[in-house]
Amino acid sequence: MFHTKERLNFYDCDPAGIIFYASLFKIAHTAYEKFLAHNSPDRNFFFDDELVLPIIHCEADYYKPLKAFDEIDVSVIVREVRDNSFELKYKFEIDSKLYAEAKTVHVCVDKTKFEKTNLPHQLKSKLNEKSMPRIRE
């Protein structure tokens, strides 16, 4: 599990000061970028000449309102690792109370052929190290 803290900016909110639904994915992606940098410091997948890791599925559940200027504890949890894709779960908490959850599924794509390809061995190994078993939710 990887943890980071993010501040909810006013521009990420609707006129009532509550998070705009799509902004949760922006925060999740920021946490994902930090997670990748922490776990693959020698390879920047956002500027890689050979591979890209696009999101092919995402979903979110909102339990309590996240408000402008909230300091959010974000957890990134590796849920499933396959040969050419992986699933991440995100938990958004304040004072250990769950406010929202999200999920993203990423696939490894060869940049020249635009076809699915296997995850690099080093990344797959690191993801498997960090993987947490599914618990009935």
| Domain boundaries, given as residue ranges, for the chain | 2-130
Report pLDDT digits (tens) over 5-24: 999 999 999 999 999 999 99
pLDDT at residue 42, rounded to an integer:
72
Closest residue by Cα to residue 107 from 64, 68, 51, 30: 51
Sign of the four-CA dihedral 7, 9, 10, 13: negative
Q: What digits encode the pLDDT tens for the residues 53-62?
A: 999 999 999 9
Placement of tokens 């699915």 in the chain: 116
Q: Which of 12, 14, 42, 48 is catalytic?
A: 14
Which residue, chain included where needed, has tokens 């920047």? 44
Confidence at residue 136, expressed as pLDDT on a 0 to 100 scale:
46
Q: Rg (Cα) of the chain, in Å, rounded?
A: 16
Residue 14: active-site member: yes
Of 84, 88, 68, 63, the C-alpha closest to 4 is: 88
Q: Residue 95 forms beta bridges with which residues? A: none
Write down the pTM of the prediction. 0.90
Reply yes or no on whether the pLDDT at 132 is more than 80. no
Q: Which CATH architecture is the domain 2-130 placed in?
A: Roll (3.10)
Q: Given pLDDT bands bounded at 50, 70 and 90, which one contains residue 133?
A: low
